[in-house]
Amino acid sequence: MNNLVIQYKDQQLTFKKDLKIGVEQIDEQHHTLFRLTYEVSQLLNNTPSKEDIELRALELEAYVQEHLGFEETLLSKNGFKNFSSHKKLHDEFTKTARELRAKISTSEGDSFQKAASELFDILSNWLVEHIMAEDRNAKEYMDPKEHDVQPRPPRIKATDNVVVELSDTNKVAGLISNVSPKSILITLTEPAPKWLSQDSKVNLHLIPLEENGNLNCRVVRCTSGHSLVVALDQELTINQIATLIKG
């Protein structure tokens, strides 16, 4: 991944040379965006399926919700004097990402191809115009060492649509495999961590991380592999089940 190159107008971008700002946690999260941008560029070189592009748009929205909040917390705690204007740029990007995901979901044919190209445009523009310029100028205010602020561990991939959370530091992502009114089968993206055990009370956060998209539940079965079954505290409606299956 470190050797990947993204063509942007007349520039060839690499992460280490162009985008690394020298703050480890921030660089890790920016690298997620770089990888996502590269994947979209490769898809556009062929004829991308709607599912492929929708998944990347979904991941972008999840990235925005997680990373930008962490970055803003650091800037605020470290007294960054241009915090308001920096946050305004974040808010505009968040709005654009949300609107584009909705546009991609509802478009077909030529309008879908245009929306897919827009996804690459907003990703690459953010890499060049925000990370390479705005974030680099603010990097001295992004050091988390003096504050009890930790980023969420990298856990969202293009195929994830749910996050299983026990606490702020204990989270793992996965894909909803099957749904019934009172239970959900989840395929985790990694072997089940030790903190995830039978009868644990956990929350499910649907990606994108909507405020009203959280489900309280109890772990019924957790294998040593990647399978997890949870029992929901509240029975799902038919419409909720249809939404989860579609997602």
CA separation for the pair 233, 71 (Å, rounded): 34
pLDDT at 153 over 80: no
CA separation for the pair 62, 152 (Å, rounded): 12
Tokens 């799902």 correspond to: 236
Same structural domain for residues 17 and 69?
yes
Residue 238, domain CATH: 2.40.10.220
Q: How many independent structural domains does the chain possess?
A: 2
Query: Quick check: is 152 in a domain?
Result: no
Q: What is the pLDDT of residues 31-73, one digit of tens each?
A: 888 888 888 888 888 888 887 888 778 777 777 777 888 899 8
What is the model's pTM? 0.62
User: In the chain, which ranges are E strands?
Assistant: 6-8, 11-13, 162-165, 171-179, 183-188, 201-206, 214-222, 227-232
Same structural domain for residues 129 and 203?
no
Which residues on adjacent β-strands are paired with residue 213? none
Sign of the CA dihedral with 89 first, then 84, 20, and 35 last: negative
Q: What is the pLDDT of residues 79-108, one digit of tens each?
A: 999 999 999 999 999 888 888 888 888 888
Query: Quick check: is 155 in a domain?
Result: no
Query: Quick check: is 176 in a domain?
Result: yes
Q: What is the pLDDT of residues 179-198, one digit of tens each?
A: 878 888 888 877 888 888 88
Same structural domain for residues 14 and 121?
yes
Same structural domain for residues 137 and 178?
no
Tokens 């990606």 correspond to: 207
Domain extent, residue 200, equals 162-246
